[in-house]
């Protein structure tokens, strides 16, 4: 059954009302006014975060009507379910669909602005380093950052698109959202503004570009980080438009997920430990206690991501497809490596 004009208007007004509220919140929140204050310079144009968000709102306003026209008239969108839940506050508890809609809306409202800003920021950095690399051909300055920013740009591009689009025909609808406060906490403390507090508590003893004097060690460590980040992005590409935090949008078993269940977390943490090596050496020369503290902090970040994996698995285990997936695919170490270690 095709979408009626009435249903289209309900979906459109519901979505735009949420977008309007989120837009106003980010415009008047003092932290985000400071955080989203950058201007991204591309070769053809430059755009500030504030102008970017204005254009995003306009884009949604223009594109949502034809988008919602593709929905079946019987389909209840997350935005409509969100307002239905709000309208019944104080009279009854939200049903399961409404709970998922409310939590999914919060997830998108939190992550989509971040991903959109990072998409343009990393794209601008990639183009800037590409231009400078072709000018001076200095790989260890601009060539490395060109490749690194390209990988992050691809990663956030998929996440930005996935947070923006949810459609039954694309099979990427949010089926469930992390139900526990602890699961939410270990996820959002890794993102602004909460990661500021986490950084104050733990510090940051790693670098995306290891400053090692020995050219061979620097080349090796840089190459390893790029390989690990490539696998990290491969995992995002495998998720495709199902990519998002704290949600189940259908179980993905292809790409690196065919070998381990948490390839992105494993690769990101391994790259952090490689980037930490030169800093740990500096801390060692400052004193053994300084080294121990730095080791503790890097380990603490790894523990946070381990807890993210554990809480995600507890959530996804409600899905029979994920239970079947877990029976054949190990969590963190590929099966072949396990066999080598156990020889």
Parallel, antiparallel or unpaired: strands 39-41 and 247-248: unpaired
Question: Can you give the pLDDT at residue 234?
Answer: 98
Token pair, residue 293, equals 């503290």
pLDDT at 316: 98
Cβ contact 53:47 at 8 Å: no
- Exposure string of 203-213, with b = 16+ CB inside 10 Å and e = fewer, is ebbbbbbbebe
Residue 96's Cβ-count burial label (10 Å; 0-12, 13-18, 19+) is exposed
- Cβ-Cβ contacts under 8 Å for 222 (sequence gap 6 or more): 140, 144, 209, 210
pLDDT at 43: 82
Nearest to 247 by CA among 89, 111, 66, 48: 111
pLDDT score of 136: 82
What whole-number distance in Å separates Cα of residue 52 and Cα of residue 61? 14
pLDDT, one tens digit for every residue, the chain (343 residues):
677 899 999 999 999 999 999 999 999 999 999 999 999 988 888 999 999 999 999 999 999 999 999 998 889 999 999 999 999 998 999 999 999 999 999 999 999 999 999 999 999 999 999 998 888 877 777 899 999 999 999 999 999 999 999 999 999 999 999 999 999 999 999 999 999 999 999 999 999 988 888 888 888 999 999 999 999 999 999 999 999 999 999 999 999 999 999 999 999 999 999 999 999 999 999 999 999 999 999 999 999 999 999 999 999 999 999 999 999 999 999 976 655 555 5
What is residue 209's predicted lDDT score, i.e. its pLDDT?
87
Q: How big is the chain, counted in residues?
A: 343
What is residue 101's predicted lDDT score, i.e. its pLDDT? 98
DSSP letter for 247, please: E
- Cα dihedral 309, 312, 317, 322 in deg (nearest 10): -70
Q: Domains of the chain: which residue ranges?
A: 1-164, 168-343
Cβ atoms of 106 and 244 closer than 8 Å:
no
- In this structure, what token pair is assigned to residue 231? 């696998």
Q: Two tokens at 52?
A: 């970017």
What CATH topology corresponds to 168-343? 1.20.120
User: What pLDDT does residue 44 have?
Assistant: 84
The structure tokens listed for 94 are: 């939200």
Q: What is the Cα–Cα distance from 153 to 128, expressed in whole angstroms?
A: 13
User: Residue 80 and residue 76: Cα distance in Å, rounded?
Assistant: 7
Q: How far apart are CA 134 and CA 233, in angstroms?
A: 24
258 touches 329 (CB < 8 A): yes
Cα 138 → chain centroid: 30
Alpha helices in 37-95 (DSSP H): 49-68, 78-87
3-class SS of residue 2: strand
């Amino acid at each position: 059954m095709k979408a009626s004009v009435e249903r289209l208007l309900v979906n459109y007004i519901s979505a735009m009302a949420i977008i309007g509220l989120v837009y106003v919140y980010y415009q008047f929140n003092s932290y985000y006014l400071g955080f989203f204050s950058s201007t991204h310079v591309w070769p053809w144009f430059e755009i500030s975060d504030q102008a970017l968000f204005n254009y995003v709102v306009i884009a949604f306003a223009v594109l949502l009507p034809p988008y919602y026209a593709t929905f079946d008239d019987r389909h209840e969108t997350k935005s409509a379910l969100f307002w239905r839940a709000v309208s019944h506050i104080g009279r009854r508890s939200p049903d399961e669909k409404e709970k998922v809609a409310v939590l999914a809306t919060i997830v998108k409202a939190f992550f989509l602005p971040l991903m959109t800003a990072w998409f343009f920021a990393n794209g601008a950095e990639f183009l800037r380093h590409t231009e400078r690399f072709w000018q001076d051909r200095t790989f260890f300055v601009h060539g490395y950052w060109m490749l690194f920013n390209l990988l992050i740009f691809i990663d956030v591009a998929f996440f930005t698109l996935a947070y923006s689009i949810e459609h039954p025909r694309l099979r990427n609808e949010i089926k469930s959202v992390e139900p526990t406060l602890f699961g939410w906490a270990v996820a959002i403390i890794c993102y602004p503004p909460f990661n500021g507090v986490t950084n104050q508590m733990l510090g940051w003893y790693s670098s995306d570009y290891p400053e090692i004097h020995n050219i061979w060690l620097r080349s090796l460590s840089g190459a390893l980080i790029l390989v690990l980040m490539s696998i990290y992005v491969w995992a995002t590409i495998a998720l495709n438009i199902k990519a998002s935090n704290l949600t189940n949008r259908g179980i993905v078993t292809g790409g690196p997920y065919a070998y381990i269940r948490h390839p992105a977390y494993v690769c990101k943490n391994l790259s952090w430990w490689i980037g930490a090596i030169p800093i740990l050496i500096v801390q060692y020369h400052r004193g053994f206690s300084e080294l121990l503290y730095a080791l503790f902090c890097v380990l603490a970040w790894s523990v946070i991501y381990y807890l993210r994996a554990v809480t995600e698995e507890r959530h996804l285990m409600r899905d029979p497809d994920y239970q079947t997936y877990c029976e054949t695919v190990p969590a963190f170490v590929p099966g072949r490596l396990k066999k080598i270690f156990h020889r």
